[in-house]
Amino acid sequence: MNEPRRVEHQQTDKGYVPVYTTAIVDQPADYPADDHATWGTLYERQRALLVGRACDEFLQAQDAMGMTPDRIPRFDELNEVLRATTGWTLVGVEGLLPELEFFDHLANRRFPVTWWIRRPDQIDYIAEPDLFHDLFGHVPLLMNPVFADYMEAYGKGGVKAHGIGTDALQHLTRLYWYTVEFGLINTKDGLRIYGAGIVSSKGESLYSLESDAPNRIGFDLERIMRTRYRIDTFQKTYFVIDSFEQLMNATAPDFTPIYARLEKQDAIPAGDVREDDKVYTRGTGEGWADGGDV
Ligand code: HBI
Ligand code: FE
């Protein structure tokens, strides 16, 4: 299989990783058997973990798109379902894109999916977003109309933030990190996962709901935009939304005054808990712990 065309390594919000050419690329006509096997192994392992841990919207969407462990899905087949449901399409790319290109895709309801999948020896961890992370982790929720609207609004906000400057961009990237990548959602049955970075990771699918180590804090836009994050470990804090509508509504206002306020405030370390945080106890639905839990 031809290797992806790396452009150059850059320090990004995902660490020092290769940032690729921004060209749209076609999905290869087929993949070596090894790649299909990697997809199948990861798919079956994650689905076994995620029933009862991922939110229903994620699991149902993945089934509705016709994703199976049998083979790497065809982008054009997924696009038929996705386009008809929320107007989103996925486009093949070489890998991580410069931020502006990435935001521009989202602003136009295009989700960039890396066309190659990790090697068998990388099955447990890969620093870059590969096909499994993007297709298994990010694409299903684009079937949810409200989340699909949020992702477009986020992209438009990203294009604007890029024009404002690096501070605005940093604050907005934290919002992506703590929702799209590592978000939890509160349901009548308890906390559930919706973040792509969690659902595509075996260890973090368990840790995010069941470990006593991380904080779980109710969604607060400016609190999130001030909060640093780590890229090389499990998260020290997860933010919990009540609904995708809450997420969508949070991006409705113009962020300019928010950026102005954030300029005057310090960043919050990833592991901090502040006194007006709404703290969740692990894995349950109760919002207000008695405070003794953290
Ligand atoms: N490029 N292909 C791709 N996929 C991403 O998730 C991605 C990206 N470029 C930038 C980026 N994410 C980050 O800036 C986001 O966290 C905002
Ligand atoms: Fe991602």
Residue 4, C-beta contacts closer than 8 angstroms, at least 6 positions apart: 20, 94, 95, 114, 115, 116
Residue 292 confidence class, pLDDT cut points 50, 70, 90: very low
Cβ proximity of 206 and 49 under 8 Å: yes
Q: Residue 174 phi/psi, 5° resolution? A: -65, -35
Residue 245 annotated to the active site: no
Q: In this structure, which ligand is nearest to the CA of 97?
A: 1
pLDDT value for 2: 53
Percent of the chain with pLDDT over 90: 82
- Catalytic residue (choose from 57, 200, 205, 208): 200
**In the structure encoding, which two tokens stand for residue 85, read together?**
């449901």
Q: Mind listing the pLDDT tens digit for each residue in 93-109?
A: 999 998 999 999 999 99
Q: Which of 239, 248, 250, 249 is nearest to 280 (CA)?
A: 239
Average pLDDT over all residues of the chain: 91
Ligand nearest to the CA of 176: 1
- The whole-angstrom separation of Cα 183 and Cα 188 is 17
State yes or no: pLDDT of 233 exceeds 70: yes
pLDDT for 18-65, tens place per residue? 777 788 999 999 999 999 999 999 999 999 999 999 999 999 999 999
Confidence of residue 5 (pLDDT cuts 50, 70, 90): low
- pTM, rounded to two decimals: 0.92
Which region among 129-133, 212-216, 279-283 has the lowest average model confidence (pLDDT)? 279-283
114 CA closest ligand 1 atom index: 2
Q: What is the pLDDT of residue 107?
A: 98
Average pLDDT, stretch 187-193? 95
Confidence category of residue 285, pLDDT binned at 50, 70, 90: very low
Strands (E), 13-141: 15-19, 89-93, 110-114
Query: pLDDT digit string (tens) for 147-187?
Result: 999 999 999 999 999 999 889 999 999 999 999 999 999 99
Residue of 10, 25, 99, 251 to test ligand 1 pocket, by largest number of atoms within 8 Å of CB? 99
d(CA 27, CA 71) in angstroms, rounded, equals: 14
- Taking the CA of 173 as reference, the closest ligand is 1
Tell me the pLDDT tens digit for each residue of 248-276: 999 889 999 999 999 999 999 999 999 99
| Exposure letters 129-153 (e unless 16+ CB within 10 A, then b) | bbbbbbbbbbbbbbbbebbbbbbbb
Bridge-based pairing of strands 190-193 and 184-187 is antiparallel
Token pair in block for residue 197: 């970075």
**Mind listing the domains of the chain with CATH numbers?**
10-262 (1.10.800.10)
Nearest alpha carbon to residue 89 among 60, 113, 63: 113
User: Given this model, what pLDDT does residue 12 score?
Assistant: 79
Catalytic residue, from 57, 128, 181, 204: name it.
181
Told to judge if 200 belongs to the known catalytic residues of this protein, a careful annotator would answer yes
Instruction: Give the pLDDT of residue 19.
Output: 72
DSSP-assigned letter for residue 184? E
Residue whose CA lies nearest to ligand 1 atom number 15 = 173
- Tell me the C-alpha distance between 105 and 222, whole Å: 25
From 22, 102, 131, 178, give the residue whose CB has the most ligand 1 atoms within 8 Å, as the site to mutate: 102
